[in-house]
Structure 1
């Protein structure tokens, strides 16, 4: 009886070791799968992004944290993220004003798209002096800026909501559709302003 009991206990040890190894492998595979899914989501679908600077005030504030959607189509007045022209490693956040084929004119502090007056509720320059408005937010059209009448195919014309403190298409020109990282409409931080970013002119 002793010999038989000894043989049974001896046979159980390798089985326990095998079960432990199987559990470790299973856990490792689970971690790999979850990590891969997370990386794919971040790379191809959504990702966090933070705001630096004041170019999108009052809509977005310095330090705001947003969720970037990488798969949705871009429409007029969407807020998009793209690599900063001529500034390696930096991202810009701006609002799409002109789509391919649009004619853009800004005159007497009023925006016109295809001849239609646009009420820009997202812009607040009430505290800016008249002299600064004239010098920092002066009249323009696409012809004076880029020598063309319309936004080119597969391109966007973008502006910051803070027109007197924004480096945008007025200085660096059109943004290629292929260079758009994604668009954002959801703020997740700070908590007291958690929610969707208002999009005017829908």
Structure 2
């Protein structure tokens, strides 16, 4: 039995959680408060990512799905205004990519060194994650980061937009995978969407 799927899940989960941690610290939200919800989302996403990248050669789709789910997660669970959620996710991905690229070039020399070696890839993920945890926690402790008047940036129809976004996400992914004839993969997104819908409805009731 190959250890590659297990190693992929372990290092990808550490890497993705460090991205969540970085965004929460950078925008000065309490990362501990939503850590288990983040893990609930990250684990099935990374499993799906492994299947899309390795079995179906759909790595770009996996990255796009992660961005969309993060935007919905920050809006429905962390309760960021949707405009902040989009800004935080996109900016977080850009900063994360720059950090990882810097480590890749300085330590491994080129992208091909990562693509041709799973071990190098896992090391890069671990190095990037470790840096993110240490550096951005330091930034958070020092009181640095982006702060906004949250309520002024919250739209009155935001809850409706969020519900539509979640449903559109599930339908869009389902249609894509249906036409790719990989029906079983749709099941990965059902619990994620149900989880996000639950929090969006919970948030709506709290706002009533």
TM-score, length of structure 2 as denominator length: 0.24
Report the structure, 1 or 2, having the larger strand content.
1
Structure scoring higher RCO (CA < 8 A, sep ≥ 6) equals 2
Q: Which has the higher helix share?
A: 2
Larger radius of gyration: 1
